Amino acid sequence: MTNCSECDADLSVPSDAIEGEIVTCAECGASFELVKAPNGFELKPAQTVGEDWGQ
């Protein structure tokens, strides 16, 4: 469990999470990319939709 850097709400990282996965704060909707850290993951503000993203 960590805190959202936008709204400080509790933000849980799934137990099967992997590096590069996007997690979204249920309170404010901010999205974060999981980045490997010595003790689990750090959260980095994520780009969730790019202008040229698709499929």
* Contact footprint for other proteins (CB under 8 A): 16, 18-22, 33, 46, 49-55
Nearer to other proteins, 5 or 48 (CB): 48
Largest Cα separation within the chain, whole Å, is: 34
Name the β-bridge partners of 11.
2
Question: Contacts from 18-24 at CB under 8 Å and sequence distance 24+?
Answer: 22/46, 22/48, 24/48
Q: What is the nearest approach in angstroms of other proteins to the Cβ of residue 8?
A: 25
Q: What is the nearest approach in angstroms of other proteins to the Cβ of residue 15?
A: 13
Nearer to other proteins, 38 or 51 (CB): 51
